[in-house]
Amino acid sequence: MKKPSLPKRRIAMLGRLVSQIFSQAVPLAAPTIDRSAISRLHGRLEFVRDNNGVAHLYAEVESDLYIGVGYLQAVERFMIMDTLRHVATGRLSELFANIRIPASVERIGGLTLQDFDAFLRPLGFEQEALRDFPRLPIEEQRCLEAFAQGVNDALIHMNGVYPPEMLFTGKLIPWTAEDCLLAARASALIVSLVPLENELTFDNIRVQEGDAIARMIYPDAPWDDVPDYCQGGESEIPDGPLDPPNMGSNNWAVTGKRSRSGAPIVCNDPHVPVLPAPTYWQHVHLECPQYSVQGGMFPGYPGMGFGHNGHIAWGCTTVFRDAWDLSRIQRAETHSDRYLTSKGTESILHHRATLNARFGRSREVEWESCRHGIIYPEWRHPDGTELALKFVACDHAAHFSGHRALYSASSVEDTQSALAKLNGGPFDFNMVYAHKDGHIAWEQIGQLPRRAKDGLFIRDSSDPNTDWDGYLDFSENPKIINPDSDMIVTANTDTCPKQFPKIATRVHCEPRHRQERIIALLNEKQEHDWKSMALIQRDVMAVYAEPLRDMICEVLGHYANTAGLLAEASVSLEQWDCQFTVDSVGATIFTYMRKILAQTVFGAVLGSESAKRFTHGQRSIPRIELMILDADDPLRELLQEKTGNSIEFFIQQSFEQSVNKLMTDWGDNLSAWRWGNIHRVRIGSPLAEIPRWGKPWEAIEAPMPGEANTISPSVTTPDGKRLRMLIGASSRFICDLGKPKEAWFAHSTGPVVDPHSPLYKGLADKWHKFEYFRSALWKADKVPNVRERVILIP
């Protein structure tokens, strides 16, 4: 099929942008789907949009559903889709130009987008997608081709005047069916970089500080299997150029024994970037002769991370599997294009690519590859030994088959068969699901390398422990089915510690705080319904902070007998109820103090570069918490040895520095230190980030409760003197299978980035207030509160 030409009429786009900035009139919203735009339907297609922004699509022919949903995604979120496919192909500099990150940005300051591309291109995702698409069954190829057709129909209909944020990007390329596979691969990659960064930071501390100190920093690493070559040094382990924020999610299910309806309940609140708008997850209901399904669809890829179909309900959280291995490559003495392995010597392949840039020079990059992974030119161990980086493979064909099978699953066996197919895909998920007849389960999906030992430590390529003996069969993956506790909870940690070594090590995943809190709240009631589950999803109680607060306040007790701001602050901290509510002053003091304490302590016991990397990642905060609580922690002795001061001295120092920082930024009136004054959520389109002029594209700017380890979470980024929510539960989902055709939802914005649409800001306001709406697998003529209805006949 010939690809359409998609020129940009930049002057017209600029004119519309200026008009939107200065116009006081509110234009009428244009129809989402234009009858004249969609081509080559095979049967009747009906589109219904309700007042909650949900798109309901009804088709006589399955592939027509994908034309419709592709069209909607292009209208609603093409910028996100386009960015994802450029991430997957390592072509970000072609889309945005070879932009240099400001030097002030932690860790990645000074890098360019071509530096990112130089890391991404060798991963080979583009070739992978081209390889896998022809392997899809014909009917599934037709679905993805139909999705691409719908995307391109929408882009053609825009007639060169695309959404305003696309004014600042490069040439528009038509969407292809293979691009769907790339979008999924990119979304999965971004999350998988978190455990890679944890692993690189771990290896860097071993290299720079030696294993004696590394054992203190990481007491939960599998030290029984440590290789013995790493004795400390000055050089750093290489750092991946991408800097992913910590992301996670919660999902859980209870059996009918714990529900008021007598049927299972499934809950999910995936934690993804809340910006830019619209929401990451497209809320859509699809109905055709094969299935009726509703849930959250990935951008650019017609699979659902959470949803229900009248028989089952499911939700996902990230597993944080160890999907990466680093190996030391020792070349053969007589052949530089061969290296030593457990099998003798094997070949090394050479590669070259050109990285083009919008408005800039092209750059030639070279790399090598072998069975142990990619050999990036600059990636070396401190002794000069080259490193190879290996990443888990992906079977896109099986993955999309799994999504279609999940949509139509009507039994437990159908669901498990679908999950077995999903297991081959790019995502590593904790899939929690339930059947209306009572079955609940957790099954981990995402291929797990069959290793002789862990994949945490860097080993020599000649060591048999670096070899992967394929992947575990899906039947061997960790799982819990119908537990005696009548509940299953996952939250990006070691869901089942006994089974977790198959997935990763404790170094790779998050603390157990959210999982333990959810379990505790589920145990507080005999019977749950969707309302009690919604209360759990909004919980911001930090139980883990209680012993920390008490220990800290014991050290700070003498301030209560003094006058002034330090005394007031110490009293506020002592009286804090450990809730991260917007009115809490204690939450603010605790957060500032904990961060400063971690930076100070690890800056003292580690080298400066090791400390920067460690405190930037997700492991430093739980490690400083352990140090505070454990009087026998060996890090306390090391700190005393290196500084001459105890942990109590540093607690007091970090408290005083926190109070001084807050006073400098917010004055000496503690009411200005409220958590909601400092911790904010601001969501909008990319244009909302434009200083002074971006306000019209802002969906919400408001105080936000929660922090990274509360059930209702917030992973933040600095925003001037404030903290801005970057990652959170952008969508919330609850399905009581007593009524399996309905569920309750909340979304951080509406489906379109239209500042004049009530769906845009209205849904954001409801989400912020933790208000939910009901949606169901309605027939087209039964959808309530219809905003828009379009019927298309071929």
Going by pLDDT thresholds of 50, 70 and 90, the confidence category of residue 80 is: very high
Phi, psi torsion values for 140, nearest 5 degrees = -80, -35
Distances (CA, A) of 567 to 383, 550, 578, 583: 52, 16, 19, 19
- How many residues would you count in the chain? 794
The residue extents of the domains of the chain are 41-182, 545-577+585-673
pLDDT mean over 596-616? 93
**Would you place residue 558 in the very low, low, confident or very high pLDDT band (cuts 50, 70, 90)?**
very high
SS3 of 429, please? strand
Closest CA to 147 of 71, 93, 38: 71
CA distance 790 to 72: 13
Name the residue with tokens 């071929």.
794
Q: How far apart are CA 265 and CA 611, in angstroms?
A: 44
Residues ≥6 apart with Cβ < 8 Å to 682: 275, 688, 698, 700, 701, 719, 724, 725
Q: Could you tell me the CA-to-CA distances from 476 to 420, 430, 455, 471, 482 in Å, in that order? A: 11, 14, 18, 10, 17
CB atoms within 10 A of CB 550: 12
Distance CA 255, CA 651 (A): 45
pLDDT of residue 755: 76
> Strand runs (DSSP E) across 446-509, as ranges?
449-451, 459-460, 468-471, 479-481, 487-490
Residue 395 has φ and ψ, to the nearest 5°, of -115, 95
Statement: residue 335 has pLDDT above 70? yes
Kindly report which listed range (126-130, 574-578, 753-757) carries the lowest average pLDDT score.
753-757
pLDDT tier at 550, thresholds 50, 70, 90: very high
CB-based contact 324:341 (threshold 8 Å): no
Predicted pLDDT at 235: 61
Residue 63: which pLDDT band, with cuts at 50, 70 and 90? very high
**Token pair for 701:** 């700017």
Which class does domain 41-182 fall in? mainly alpha
Q: Which candidate, 246, 249, 283, 301, places its Cα nearest to that of 425?
A: 301
In degrees and rounded to multiples of 5, residue 644 shows phi and psi of: 80, 5
pLDDT above 90 coverage of the chain, percent: 83
Tell which wins on pLDDT, 408 or 242. Answer: 408
Distance between CA atoms of residues 96 and 168, nearest Å: 7
| Residue 357 pLDDT exceeds 70 | yes
CA distance 423 to 338: 33
Instruction: Tell me how far apart the alpha carbons of residues 399 and 422 are, in angstroms, rounded to a whole number.
Output: 4
Q: Is the pLDDT of residue 256 over 90?
A: yes
What pLDDT, on the 0 to 100 scale, is given for residue 237?
Answer: 72
DSSP state of 579: B
**pLDDT band for position 696 (50/70/90)?**
confident
pLDDT in tens, 507-533: 999 999 999 999 999 999 999 999 999
pLDDT score, position 52? 95
Binning pLDDT at 50, 70 and 90, where does residue 758 land?
confident
Token pair 């997850």 in the structure block, residue: 281
> Under a CB-based contact definition with an 8 Å cutoff, are residues 320 and 492 in contact?
yes
418-451 in b/e form (b: 16+ CB < 10 A) is bbbbbbbbbbbbbbbbbbbeebbbbbbbbbbbeb
| Confidence (pLDDT) at 27 | 47
Query: What integer pLDDT is reported at residue 103 of this predicted model?
Result: 87
Task: With a cut of 80, say whether residue 283 has pLDDT above it.
Answer: yes
- pLDDT over 50 at 28, yes or no: no
Judge whether residue 238 has pLDDT over 90.
no
**What is the model's pLDDT at position 782?**
98
The whole-number pLDDT of residue 82 equals: 98
Identify which of 367, 366, 362 has the alpha carbon closest to the alpha carbon of residue 97. 362
Scored b (16 or more CB within 10 A) or e, 304-318 reads: bbbbbbbbbbbbbbb
**How many CB atoms neighbour CB 681 within 10 A?**
25
| Stretch among 20-24, 78-82, 395-399 having the lowest mean pLDDT | 20-24
Tokens encoding 355: 């990285």
Helix (H) / strand (E) element for 49: namely strand 45-50
Q: Pick the residue with more confidence: 29 or 535?
A: 535
pLDDT tens sequence across 727-748: 999 999 999 999 999 999 999 9
> Tokens 């004049």 appear where?
756
Q: Using the 8-state DSSP alphabet, how is residue 781 labeled?
A: G
Residue 170: phi, psi to the nearest 5? -80, -160
Mean pLDDT across the stretch 399-412?
Answer: 98
pLDDT digits (tens, 9 = 90+) for 411-454: 999 999 999 999 999 999 999 999 999 999 999 999 999 999 99
Cα(341)–Cα(507) distance, integer angstroms: 27
Instruction: Provide mean pLDDT across the span 7-33.
Output: 73
CB 327 within 8 A of CB 375: no
**What rounded mean pLDDT belongs to the chain?**
94
Average pLDDT, stretch 192-220? 93
Confidence band for 760, pLDDT divided at 50, 70 and 90: confident
Q: Specify which residues 745 forms β-bridges with.
A: 733, 773
Which has the closest alpha carbon to 730: 236, 50, 248? 248
Q: What is the pLDDT of residue 151?
A: 97
pLDDT tens for each residue of 456-511: 999 999 999 999 999 999 999 999 999 999 999 999 999 999 999 999 999 999 99
Are the C-beta atoms of residues 576 and 586 closer than 8 Å to each other?
A: yes
The pLDDT value given to residue 78 = 95
Q: What pLDDT score was predicted for residue 23?
A: 67
